[in-house]
Amino acid sequence: MKSSSLVVLLLAVAVSASVNEESGWFVPQKDGSFRYWTVEEADAFELARPRRTPGGKPIIYNLFTKSNPSEAQSFTTADLPAETLSYFNKKNPTRFIIHGWLIGDYESGTQSLITAAYLDPDFKDEDYNVFTVDWSYYADNPNYAEARYDAPKAALEIAEFIDVMNEKFGLEFETLTLIGHSLGGQVAGMVGKNVKNGRIDTIYGLDPAGPLFMTTKPEKRLTSTDAEYVEVIHTDRMELGYAKPLGQADFYPNWGRRQPGCKYDVGGECSHKRVVLLFAEAVKMRSNNKFVPTKCVDYNSIKDEKRCSALVDNSVRMGHRGNYKIASGVYHLPTRGESIFGMGFYYL
């Protein structure tokens, strides 16, 4: 990182706490620096911004199952086969994993780690249809602001693909889960708003993007009504992630700030990516995951880093698929700085 960029970034981090989060944002730049935007600047940019030209690179959907755990079967909406789709099994639950800004390939980690967790061979009685969504035509724009305002276009295309999968191949909305990291978390919410043939069962927002979203109305970002159940995990609420609760249940590991093991986390990149490791661990360990939280009164307890209830409810575990029945509100939990991240009953 250039020294001038580092100075800008340090200044942004230093003064971010004193800036009203409702009046503007520090927007990340590709070189690692941040630039402050007011709401007025963002609105003007949205109206005048350059748009991706129609007919560009389509969104690619890469299907993995236990029958093809490492070699994807790839499709676009336009080239889905008319009658059969090998590997896809409508009897199995389906997962869509949506990457964030500048992270457009399966091997980047966000998608490969979570895919591997779902298709873990140790769980012989389980199989999933796991689609990793490559929307890099929009997301790999070096200008974050352009990628952010192109996100609704990508969401519409993903929603269309899901509806076509439902119509042609019997994809069940009742067993459909979307997992979106960073800007992909916001896209997941927009997808939930735009599917036409049903209602998404579950959305996991993994540290959904905050820059250029904090003052956005609920109809234009991830919110608790975008699926039957929406769970959000916040690991970098001070820089890159969305600070306030967005879901039916919101989890704040380590108060949603600097994550253990992120020693020189200037700009929050390490903490922002940590959520992927936490969620992959939760999926891999299934009902035995060690992310046991305590419930907080509200978001103010998170902001003030006040101890939440000393009573641990073993029935709620961050990232557990059974949470939709019982989890609601705001939760806090500490984690370790390396795997195994979960700490279990840390108050006992």
Active site members: 182, 207, 272
d(CA 5, CA 193): 37
User: How far apart are the C-alpha atoms of 235 and 145, rounded to whole Å?
Assistant: 22
Residue 323 burial (CB count, 10 A) = 21
B/e letters for 158-187, b = 16+ CB within 10 Å, e = fewer, are: bbbbbbbbbeebebebebbbbbbbbbbbbb
The three-state (H, E, C) secondary structure of 269-319, written as one string: HHHHHHHHHHHHHHHHHHHHCCCCCEEECCHHHHHCCCCCCCCECCCCCCC
CB 275 within 8 A of CB 206: yes
Angstrom distance (rounded) from CA 327 to CA 329: 7
